[in-house]
Amino acid sequence: MILEPHTESLPYNIFLRAFELRIKSTTKMVLLTLISEAVKNDENFCTPSHERIAELCCIQKITVIKHIGFLEDMGLIRKDTRVTDSKSCATNLYTITLHNHLRAIKEPA
């Protein structure tokens, strides 16, 4: 089952906002990599493999998985697991939710 992402362009200053977050440097690097991959397609989502993220961040695959979990827990990304029609695993779909997170912080409820 392939999930359809909610398509919305990311704000132009998303890199600056991500860079200013007070989070661990490796977590930030993984987030910036996901944002970079999403911006390439002018979308708010991307589908890089763990191996691709690890290569771009110069870290181990297991470290990528750990920091993606941190980003999910913080509400900065949403990860959707995907499978192909033949039921084999596909790359995860990562939706960048950082801009929603920042909007929620700035706007009183």
Q: Where are the domains of the chain?
A: 14-106
pLDDT for residue 84? 74
pLDDT for residue 107? 38
Q: Residue 29 — φ and ψ, nearest 5°?
A: -65, -40
pLDDT for residue 82? 86
Burial class (CB in 10 A: 0-12, 13-18, 19+), 74: middle
Q: Are 74 and 28 contacting, i.e. CB atoms less than 8 angstroms apart?
A: no
CATH class label, 14-106: mainly alpha
Q: Cα(10)–Cα(38) distance, rounded to whole angstroms?
A: 8
pLDDT for residue 16? 87
Q: Which residues of the chain have pLDDT under 70?
A: 1-9, 12, 100-109
